[in-house]
């Protein structure tokens, strides 16, 4: 089975721009979660989608949004980028919300200049 894939792997944007990141979960997995990793802050939960519905949301401003499609693929969008949004954005999937173990993709490294 193919693992979780994320595109693009690297991205450079400037302040004020917006960005869309994509995640394809493992086949058959219906739950997709997004995390932000910054140096010294660990992994901070952004949101989780299950069957195209947002089921959980972390403490991030409304500039961060996401969606999930019927094939379970997910996108997250960040509008009006700030320098502090520079981070590794990780996507993780699991078969369902009752499953504890999540499988992570390699991440998208976003740099905001």
Check binding of 84 to other proteins (CB under 8 A): no
Examine residue 43 and tell whether it contacts other proteins (CB under 8 A).
Answer: yes
> Does residue number 70 form part of the binding site for other proteins (CB under 8 A)?
no
Of 20, 37, 40, nearest to 92 by C-alpha is 37
In whole angstroms, what is the distance from residue 63 CA to residue 2 CA? 31
CA distances, 79 to each of 21, 82, 104, 107 (Å): 12, 9, 24, 19
Q: Which is nearer to other proteins, 66 or 107 (CB)?
A: 107
66 interacts with other proteins by CB under 8 A: no
- Which parts of this chain interact with other proteins (CB under 8 A)? 4, 33, 35, 40-45, 48, 50, 55-56, 58, 90, 92, 97-98, 100-107
């Amino acid at each position: 089975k193919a693992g979780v894939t994320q595109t693009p792997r690297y991205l450079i944007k400037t302040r004020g721009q917006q960005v869309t990141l994509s995640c394809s979960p493992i086949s058959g997995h219906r739950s997709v979660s997004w995390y932000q990793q910054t140096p010294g802050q660990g992994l901070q939960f952004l949101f989780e989608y299950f069957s195209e519905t947002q089921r959980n949301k972390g403490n991030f401003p409304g500039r961060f949004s996401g969606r999930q499609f019927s094939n379970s693929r997910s996108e997250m969008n960040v509008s009006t980028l700030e320098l502090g949004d520079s981070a590794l954005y990780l996507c993780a999937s699991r078969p369902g919300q009752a499953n504890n173990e999540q499988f992570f993709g390699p991440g998208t490294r976003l740099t905001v200049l």
